[in-house]
């Protein structure tokens, strides 16, 4: 299991921010601070096992320490754990966001945040 850095880019749409992780099976994305973007959407592609999106409000969360994280949910209260390519609106607004994978390969997890 690797701890993978994110790539950040400006989407060019108003006050927005875009971050992406390229992950393999069992990888964890390094945390990204995105709390000042109240509206966030995640888009996930890859050859699937599953990807879970998680958040933390700890000052310095450890991406490998499960107790530092909680599962993020969609507006219906379902955990954002995708087993097929898709997208979700993120209901919570934690200080940090990080994806974690099981099985599969070639994942790309992209989050767009808008102020």
Give pLDDT tens digits for 38-65: 899 999 999 999 999 999 999 999 988 8
What is residue 46's predicted lDDT score, i.e. its pLDDT? 92
CA nearest 31: which of 77, 96, 89? 96
pTM for this predicted structure: 0.91
Q: Which residues contact 48 (CB under 8 A, 6 or more apart)?
A: 82, 83, 84, 85, 103, 104
pLDDT at res. 90: 97
Residue 70: give the domain boundaries.
3-114
CATH number of the domain residue 36 falls in: 2.60.120.10
Over residues 58-110, the pLDDT tens digits come to 999 998 888 999 999 999 999 999 999 999 999 999 999 999 999 999 999 99
Q: How many CB atoms lie within 10 A of CB 98?
A: 25
Q: What is the pLDDT of residue 80?
A: 97
Chain Cα centroid distance, residue 109? 6
- Separation in Å, CA 8 to CA 20, 79, 81: 6, 24, 22
- How many domains does one find in the chain? 1
């Amino acid at each position: 299991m690797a701890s993978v850095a994110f790539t950040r880019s400006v989407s060019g749409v108003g006050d927005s921010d875009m971050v992406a992780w390229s992950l393999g099976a069992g990888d964890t994305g390094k945390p990204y601070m995105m709390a000042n973007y109240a509206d966030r959407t995640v888009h996930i592609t890859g050859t699937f096992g599953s990807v879970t999106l998680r958040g933390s409000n700890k000052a310095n969360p450890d991406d490998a320490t499960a107790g530092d994280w909680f599962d993020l949910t969609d507006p219906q209260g379902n955990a954002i754990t995708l087993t097929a390519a898709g997208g979700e609106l993120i209901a919570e607004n934690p200080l940090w966001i990080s994806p974690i994978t099981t099985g599969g390969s070639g994942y790309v997890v992209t989050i767009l945040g808008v102020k």
